[in-house]
């Protein structure tokens, strides 16, 4: 990513301004790239309008997080909540520390033990150490993917009709064709997919396969039946369960992001785990 | 003819259809570029347009081939 952006900028700086300008632009790109890499998680937290939980709001979850942090030997993540009708949980962060984000729906549909399993999945991902990388990929891919929504709004504002009219939809479809292709490649090449590893690790360490299976099934069914919310496809690699769905022909490009193993494959992997973990 | 096209379209998987429409979207950009160049130069320069099309389409097709390889490895086909 850094290479793709920096080569044309440095090349043109050297061409127009000489070696000194090229070196200067290289230094500026390195500093800016580092800053964006480290602050990507703040942008994503604002993107989803996350808020810190109020006093006593997560009193049942706090001990679980303390417990799991010590179990998995990871730094305790800061907890954020965002309002959503979709049960998603994800973790963003930088080298300073992880931030775990829970949707309001996930808090309402999952019971305490199921939440423990899903939070444990995030702990496995934190332990793996790819949170910063995944966060940066989500920021870049998310910005690219959001150009299609921008095109839809530009079409509507320039008089092509309403959101349900065919003309803005068609313009969005064409722009999606342009942006979703590189966006999916960035997600596939940049993000590390730990879905099966996290599932099996949680089943092995916590030892309650049936609770994990129940949590995953509950989230999956809720997304299938109730989810009408649009999620940025550039962020799919962050989520426990992929909330991006192809609802119509105009969403066809979203099928490029069906990167998760399907439920059957995940459940099969969990069922094959030899349990020797601790009890709840 | 139409039934064959229909058969071809329905036999494609969703991600293959998405890539096909992506290719069409990138072709629309090329068409826009050719129109813009022709208007700016006030003449249709065949060699220039042919060269641009060759380079542009070559890059797009190469990227598509690479992405198909990546997608086949990482994408879960339903």
More confident residue, A95 or A237: A237
- The residues in A 259-278 lying below 8 A from B, measured between CB atoms, are 259-262, 265
Name the token pair of A88: 């998603």
Are A102 and A196 a contacting pair, CB within 8 Å?
no
Where does the pLDDT of residue A9 fall: very low under 50, low under 70, confident under 90, or very high at 90 and above? confident
Query: Which residue, A50, A142, A39, is CA-closest to A94?
Result: A39
- Considering only CB atoms, which chain A residues are within 8 Å of B24? 177
Alpha-carbon gap, residue A264 to A241, rounded angstroms: 13
Say whether pLDDT at A95 is over 60: yes
- CB proximity list for B48: less than 8 A, separation 6 or greater: B37, B41
Distance, in angstroms, between A250 CA and closest chain B CA? Answer: 10
- Does residue A280 have a pLDDT over 60? no
Alpha-carbon distance of A272 to B13, in angstroms, equals 30
| Global confidence as pTM | 0.87
Task: Give the closest residue to A252 by CA, choosing from A169, A182, A188, A192.
Answer: A169
Consecutive H or E run containing B65:
helix B46-74
Average pLDDT, rounded, for chain A: 87
C-beta of residue A71 within 8 angstroms of C-beta of residue A57: no
| A247 reaches B (C-beta below 8 A) | no
User: What is the reported pLDDT for A174?
Assistant: 92
Q: Does B74 touch chain A (CB under 8 A)?
A: yes
Contact A181 B22 (CB under 8 A): yes
Tell me the C-alpha distance between A91 and A130, whole Å: 10
Cα–Cα dist A169/A247, whole Å = 13
Alpha helices for chain A (secondary structure H):
2-47, 62-72, 104-109, 112-128, 131-145, 147-157, 166-190, 195-206, 209-226, 263-271
CB contact B65 to A (< 8 Å): no
- B73 — pLDDT class (breaks 50, 70, 90): confident
**A244-269 residue pLDDT tens:** 888 888 888 888 888 768 888 889 99
Please choose, from the candidates A108, A112, A116, the residue with its C-alpha nearest in 3D space to the C-alpha of residue A66: A116
Which of A178, A258, A260 minimises the CB distance to B26?
Answer: A178
Contacts of A236 by beta carbon, 8 Å cutoff, 6+ apart: A187, A242, A243, A244, A257, A259, A260
Using CA atoms, how far apart are residues A164 and A175, in angstroms rounded to an integer? 17
SS3 content of chain B, % helix, strand, coil (to 5): 85, 0, 15
Do the beta carbons of residue A194 and residue A128 sit within 8 Å?
A: yes
Interface test with B, best of A183, A253, A269 (most B CBs within 10 A): A253
B28: nearest CB among A174, A252, A258: A174
Please tell me the number of Cα atoms within 13 Å of A61 on its side-chain side. Answer: 27
Which has the minimum average pLDDT: A97-101, A135-139, A273-277? A273-277
Looking at the complex, does the CB of residue A170 fall below 8 Å from at least one CB of chain B?
no
DSSP characters over A110-178: S-HHHHHHHHHHHHHHHHHT-HHHHHHHHHHHHHHHTHHHHHHHHHHHTTS--TTSHHHHHHHHHHHHH
- Up-side HSE of residue B56: CA atoms within 13 Å toward CB? 17
Q: Does B54 touch chain A (CB under 8 A)?
A: no
CA distance A75 to A147: 35
pLDDT surpasses 60 at A132: yes
pLDDT at B78: 58
Average pLDDT of chain B is 90
Between B76 and B47, the more confident residue is B47
pLDDT tens, position by position, A44-74:
999 999 999 888 888 888 889 999 999 888 9
Q: CA nearest A177 in B: which residue?
A: B22
C-alpha A94/C-alpha A38 separation (Å) is 6
The domain locations on chain B are 2-77
How does strand A78-82 pair with strand A97-103? parallel
Domain coordinates of chain A in residue numbers?
1-46, 131-271
């Amino acid at each position: 990513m850094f290479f793709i952006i920096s080569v044309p900028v440095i090349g043109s700086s050297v061409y127009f301004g000489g070696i000194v300008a090229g070196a200067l632009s290289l230094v500026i790109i390195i500093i800016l790239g580092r800053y964006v890499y480290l602050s990507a998680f703040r942008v994503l937290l604002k993107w989803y309008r996350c808020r810190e939980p109020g006093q006593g709001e997560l009193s049942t979850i706090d001990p679980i997080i303390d417990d799991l942090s010590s179990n998995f030997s990871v730094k305790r993540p800061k907890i954020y909540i965002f309002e959503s009708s979709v049960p998603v949980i994800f973790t963003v962060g930088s080298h300073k520390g992880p931030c775990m984000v829970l949707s309001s729906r996930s808090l309402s549909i999952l019971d305490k033990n199921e939440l423990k399993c899903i939070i444990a999945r995030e702990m496995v991902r934190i332990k793996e150490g790819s949170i910063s990388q995944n966060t940066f990929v989500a920021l870049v891919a998310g910005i690219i993917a959001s150009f299609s929504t921008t095109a839809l709004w530009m079409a509507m504002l320039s008089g092509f009709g309403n959101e349900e009219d065919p003309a803005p939809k068609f313009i969005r479809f064409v722009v999606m064709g342009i942006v979703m292709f590189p966006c999916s490649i960035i997600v596939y090449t940049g993000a590390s997919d730990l879905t099966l590893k996290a599932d099996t690790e949680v089943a092995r360490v916590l030892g309650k396969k049936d609770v994990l299976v129940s949590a995953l099934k509950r989230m999956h069914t809720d997304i299938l039946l109730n989810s009408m919310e649009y999620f940025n496809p550039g962020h799919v690699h962050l989520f426990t369960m992929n909330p991006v769905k192809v609802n119509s022909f105009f969403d066809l490009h979203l099928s490029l992001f069906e990167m998760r193993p399907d439920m059957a494959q995940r459940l099969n992997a969990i069922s094959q785990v030899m349990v020797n973990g601790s009890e709840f | 003819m139409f039934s064959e096209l229909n058969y071809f379209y329905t036999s494609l998987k969703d991600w293959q259809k998405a890539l096909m429409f992506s290719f069409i979207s990138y072709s629309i950009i090329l068409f826009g570029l050719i129109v813009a160049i022709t208007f700016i130069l006030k003449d249709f320069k065949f060699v220039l347009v042919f060269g641009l099309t060759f380079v542009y389409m070559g890059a797009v097709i190469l990227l598509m081939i690479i992405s198909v390889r990546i997608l086949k490895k990482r994408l879960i086909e339903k």
